[in-house]
Amino acid sequence: MPLSRKIFLFLVFTLISLSLRQGVFAQTLQKFEKEIIAFEQADKANPPKKRSIVFTGSSSIRLWNDLSAYFPGKTILNRGFGGSQTDEVVYYADRIVTPYKPKQVVIYSGDNDIASGKSPEKVLADFETLFSKIRATSPKATVTYISIKPSPSRKQHLPKINQTNALIKDFLAKEKRTAYVDVYNPMLLPNGKPKPELFRADSLHMTKAGYDIWAQVLKPYLK
């Protein structure tokens, strides 16, 4: 077989492989489509105010059902969804974050990323992409990151969780109008273990006591 034909076939095979991978990746990202559509329908029925505070990220945000009640006087939108990872927040940000022209975006993400096997460096890279997307449309918005919490069910991941928290904290320290909110340490006992009463039976999601701590730590950072 002539060399030129081999090169041609190699390029065709490579393009097909990339196309298939992108298709699978897109399908994976779209698994939360129903939740996103529900947000969009709610927005049409009751258009939210611009310049609000948007909370987004994974189930720790989604399950914070009484979020607004913790911060009276603040206009807050809860746009947490599923057991999302950071690249999925990036994927949907154009529909559930940036359209609101928020004055502040509060993000909790990275927890599921690490549990799925992603490296701290990958989480940081995805967070940087999300940060850039927010800043591109709302350059004056404050971007606030809630540190990954120390869930007992994920104790084997704590070294990587701490590394991820440190990487994102360092990144935000170099940017204007940002804040890193440490909820990790306030959720620990003096012996360094997570306080069990802050977590539900699954040792992953939080009880009201857990959200009480989050609210107390977060309050000074909300605009």
User: Dihedral (C-alpha) 75, 212, 117, 157: value to the nearest 10 degrees?
Assistant: 150
Q: What is the mean pLDDT of residues 176-182?
A: 98
Could you tell me which of 139, 213, 212 has the C-alpha nearest to residue 178? 139
Alpha carbon distance 128, 57 (integer Å): 14
- Residue 106 backbone phi and psi in degrees, to 5: -110, 125
Q: Which two tokens stand for residue 173?
A: 């320290």
Is pLDDT of 131 > 90? yes
Q: What is the mean pLDDT of residues 127-154?
A: 97
Query: To the nearest whole number, what is the mean pLDDT of the chain?
Result: 91
Is pLDDT of 4 > 80? no
Predicted local distance difference test score (pLDDT) of residue 170 = 98
Strands of 18-151, DSSP E: 53-57, 76-80, 104-108, 142-146
pTM for the whole structure? 0.88
Predicted local distance difference test score (pLDDT) of residue 68 = 96
Position 194, amino acid? P
Alpha carbon distance 25, 144 (integer Å): 28
Alpha carbon distance 119, 164 (integer Å): 8
Alpha carbon distance 115, 158 (integer Å): 10
Q: Which two tokens stand for residue 22?
A: 């992108």
Q: Which two tokens stand for residue 194?
A: 């997570």
Q: Are 204 and 151 in contact (CB under 8 A)?
A: yes
Is pLDDT of 196 > 50? yes
What share of the chain has pLDDT > 70, as a percent? 87
Q: In 30-79, which residue ranges form alpha helices assigned H by DSSP?
A: 33-45, 59-62, 67-70
Q: What is the mean pLDDT of residues 56-65?
A: 97
Position 148, amino acid? I
Predicted local distance difference test score (pLDDT) of residue 19 = 47
